[in-house]
Structure 1
């Protein structure tokens, strides 16, 4: 089956080995990321997804904050060194997109549509996931590698303070990206029969 969109999402992979060897300007990538998020669907067209886009030194600062926070969780020097090296590999990239959900939007929808109140937090998670996937794939189409990380909520307070983030924005994920400096690991797939049911 030949389909350009399916080809792109099939090729999009988790790339851990990233660098700064990219010709893309921050302006171009900002437009790409913002457009991908704006065009991502959300329940009731809530547009609850928010993003903070960090380039170069600002991205390095974020991963430095994470590294400092994780030191308190390290059991020994060896695990601390491994964690520091991992954060350094993320800081080696071009940038990081911090994905948030605006909880004021979610609460507003809960109040406006009480019958669906318990669903709106779940649907907000759907919205951010779609936005994350859209941005990730868009960056892939530009020849960039990325990996999705989740160091929330341990750095939430530091992030909100450092970049003056509104209190109602809830950090959900971090997408770090850069030039591709190494291949993705082989991907395996479970049997279709265990995953899908088709009725005709």
Structure 2
């Protein structure tokens, strides 16, 4: 089996995150930055922007998330939500926030009108590629992660807290840290349902 496939199988959604991380915040920031810099994007547009949070900044993100969730979650369900956020996300070492720079997207739409309707889709592809690449790189470093989507609920509060540009649109949050519990079993769709192979 290839090393790449081994790494793909190692990368899983880890909800039992902890802070037992050997890398420094600066080392992790460099790892994440270099990984995103080397992921592809349509027209080399580099629409993906990222914010790496550790320490108190990471804690504040999930406090903000809980505050926003409490506004929209029925009271009887909020304790379960709070336990999940605190136990699976806030308990980690850090979080990567993935953003799309809409100014770049608009510039491409204006510069290449023939493809204007495609650039938002291509920006989403770039987010997915970047998030997957970082997730794989974190797994290679022995760290666990998940990909969450509390956007757009938390967008305004997070942008205000971090003083981020208005043209950055939040697309996902990736809490990461030490793997304190294994991932669950992974199911696969039948091959004949998901795949087709044609050969002349």
Q: Which residue of structure 1 aligns with residue 157 of structure 2?
A: 158
- State the Cα distance separating 1:164 from its structure 2 match: 0.7
Q: Is there any run of 5+ residues in structure 1 with no aligned partner, and where?
A: none
Q: Is there any run of 5+ residues in structure 2 with no aligned partner, and where?
A: none
Distance 2:109 2:73 in 1: 40
Q: How does 1:1-200 map to 2 (within 5 A)?
A: 2-77=1-76, 79-89=77-87, 90-200=89-199
Distance 2:11 2:74 in 1: 35
- State the Cα distance separating 1:109 from its structure 2 match: 0.3
Distance 1:167 1:18 in 2: 31
- State the Cα distance separating 1:188 from its structure 2 match: 0.7
Number of positions where the alignment pairs a residue of Structure 1 with one of Structure 2: 198
Distance 1:169 1:179 in 2: 29
Give every structure 1 segment of 4 or more consecutive aligned residues whose post-TM-superposition deviation is greater than 6 Å: none
Q: Please report the TM-score for the alignment, with normalisation by the length of structure 1.
A: 0.97
- State the Cα distance separating 1:76 from its structure 2 match: 2.5
Distance 1:91 1:80 in 2: 16
Distance 2:64 2:72 in 1: 14
Distance 1:99 1:76 in 2: 30
Distance 1:107 1:30 in 2: 28
Larger mean Cα displacement after TM superposition, 137-146 or 84-93: 84-93
Distance 1:160 1:58 in 2: 13
Q: Please report the TM-score for the alignment, with normalisation by the length of structure 2.
A: 0.97
CA contact (8 A) 1:56 1:93 kept: no
Encode CA deviations 1:23-63: one digit per residue, 9 max, x unaligned: 11011111110011001100000011000100021111000
